[in-house]
Structure 1
Amino acid sequence: MLKFAEFADRAMEQDFRQHMLEAEAKGLRRNLLALAIFYLMAASLDFVYFSLETVLTVMMPLRGIVYVLIIATMLVPVKTKFVGLRYGLVLLTMTYIWAITSAGALLIHRGGQVGLTVSFFVMIVVLMNYLFLPTRVIYMIPWGVAASGLYIGLFMPASGATASQMSTATVMQSLANIFGAFTAYQLSTLRRMEFQRLRALQAEQARLKEANTELLRREAIIANQRDELAHKVSELEEAQQQLGETRNSLTQAEKLASLGRLVAGVAHELNTPIGIALTAITHLEDVVTSLDKAVAAGKLTRSQLTEHQGTLRDSAHLVHTNIGRAAELVQSFKRVAVDQASEERRDFLLGAYIDEVLQSLAPRLRGEPHRVLVECPTGIHMDSYPGALFQVLTNLIINALIHAFGPDRQGTMKITVRELPDDQVELRFQDDGKGVPASNMDRLFEPFFTTNRARGGSGLGLHIVFNLVTQSLQGVISVSSAEGRGTCFTLTLPRHLPREEVVALERAAG
């Protein structure tokens, strides 16, 4: 904000003056050099109005002082501490020139005509005053008005000027002050506005540089995370390959019942980390692709970057943990025949555990438009196998995501829990998707049966759910569905597994 052609903010004004110091000094030196040349014309008129003796003995020494002042002003160093000295010498020089010029009307004694002629030179001096230091117009205006006023009010009457001549001189001096002040004001304002724009541009450049540096830093972090993710994907693919080879050998060596027992014993241990990792990797591929496009297009916002970083960090940790677990399980796969009941059974809160399952699936669900709702009374304790329940819920959710909803459909999955008599609990998983055709209802729990193998369906998801519910969790599962009305899986589970069943399972495993 400007006030009297200067910044109202004193710090800003000082910054501006420091910025203009060198340019102002160079401009002043050019103007002083022009003044020295122009002043030769005024000196030449001395030979017209004065005798040769007066010129040599009086006028030339007086005018020589002007050149001394000009040279002294030009030699002032371009430093902040000499600014006041430079301004003072400029005002002294202009005042001295004005005094000699104005006094000419009294020295010549040729009437008002001479006074009017001298008025022209006074007007030139006033104009030059405004142009010498236009950035300090607040000093130039009082000096110009005072110089014109003193000449018209003091020197012209003393030189015998007529009223008409004084009126003419008044108009000349007024125009000189108006034009000079307006020009100096405009120049002062323009230079300060340019300075403001320059500072704004510099600030924006600094901000952009900082943002670019931060962006490069985060891109480096993302690149490192991408490399780490690629390594984890490679490990996952290797683990999947080993699992596939083992499963093929298992399928050829045993009958369907044997495969069911083996899968029931290890699937909830092995498919849990594999399923979670696959879910995370699928989502991460989408995130990385989206992030690459945003970076390439230059449209990556800070909020998007922060969100993607959080997803990458959480999912990479999830992949790392589950890949390690999967690798360990693959190595020990041949030694595992049934569920390790004695190691996995524990007491847990059902509602809190369902929340943990959904939290672990967050990377997968975040990229879907569907909702998962939970209705579970608080305080329901279970003494069972949380790993098996984890795999059951995961498979049901993934199965619904793959099969229940169309590409343009926003659906809802709902998990409802209620307590039953005889220390049992009912867990119902329901979706509002497209439902299952009646012709496929009897085959839902068969191994390797799938209607969506093109999207990666293995046909083992619901078969694993059936085996886990009926064997590890010692419960019952049923399904109801109608095309266009969704599908509902109902699980009836004991809250506390009977000790006799645990012992039987442990014996079967041994």
Structure 2
Amino acid sequence: MNESLENILLEVSRSPEIDGGNLARASQFILDSALKGLDITRVSIWELQPDKQSMIATALIDTLRQDAETPVLRKSELPSYFEALETERTIIANDARNNPITAELAPDYLPEYGIYGVLDVPLRHKGEMIGVMCCETRKEHRSWTPDEVAFVGVLADIYGRAVSAAERERFEQLLIRQNEQLESMVAERTQSLTKALDNFKQAQERLIETEKMAALGKLVAGVAHEVNTPLGISVTAVTHCEHRLKKLKQAFTEGSISKKQLNQFIDDTFEAYDLLNSNLERAATLIQNFKKTAVDQSSFELVDCQLKDYLQALTLSLKPMVKKKKVSIDIRCDEATTLRTYQGALAQIVTNLISNTNEHAFVEPDEEHRILISAEPEKDGVQFVFSDNGKGIDSDTLKDIFEPFFTTSRHNGGSGLGLSIVYNLVTQKLKGEIDVQSTPGEGTVFSFYLPNLQK
């Protein structure tokens, strides 16, 4: 992807608007970025209605005209287009009026707005199609480039992150309101309190699920960025081979090829092949480790876990999260150490601890930043020690660190659930114990014991 589009994506991904919980502002920011990156005059976000029979433009920017009323797309009038949104990753129509998928828009919509080409990306949240982002060009012979297609695809993924943030904000506000109501009712309405507490627990569970999805979303963005580097090098190697091959073909056609030229071409090709092979293997390893981590965090199955290999694979997939602050993660664990546990719960514990440490323990990038994770057999289980050399935690903060919704970074979008989830997983799901000690200016140590669970 070219540098200008990457810079726009970096700006969007870092913007507090995306995780701020206000979907309208996040949508506007994403659409402004799409206009800027694609050099177009009309872009919009359409939301699929609950009956799934129509979509309404909930956010739209048109720099050339103002819509008199909110546009609506109906499935009964556009069956092929709606079907493509369910099955395709991207709809690329350089000639939208003649494209079999978008031709249904030609009689009314496309001519009315002077549109010749569209680049539409379905918007998905928790695996469900919830709408589409439409990028439209009024230039008659405009062709969408692969970089532009990838650019819009990433914007659509970021929109999914904004939807999760808005959902998290709604649930959090709901929980806060319910909590306030409970405090005034507790003395005289025990029965009503019980019912409200049940609702509170359900909302909290949904919020925890949303938090997990948001963590995975950040992990996806980091891994995608890391994979871009080896893939970019691979593309360069292929391009170099293509250039050398064209020169060799020209020399062959002209009858001027020499043994020296042929040998040089063979040597260069082997070098390019080695470069291509090593970088593709690196990309494949990143994707494999990410896939393992993502699957583990979304499922809870009791397994015999080989801790050293698993922790190394898990932390490798999490390194993009800590790369910006130059944090190194070390594992100390014997090859033979195993634990019968819910691997998904362990993955979420480690992920939350690393995310929390990266966010709070380390302020600025520094090559000296360290996280050490050790695991040693103890009794009928394993003792884990998670330590860092960050800024440490003061005593007032330390006593509330595992409390739900307690956070020191509310202004940065912190939910206060990361360490609360860790505590509940260790003590309830995995039947273990956890403790934390910290010295301001020196670092923090989380110690937790997990027993072997019975099948």
Normalised-by-shorter TM-score class: 0.3 to 0.5
The answer to which structure has the higher strand fraction is 2
Q: Which has the larger radius of gyration?
A: 1
TM-score by length of 2: 0.46
Greater fraction helix: 1
Length-normalised TM-score, structure 1: 0.42
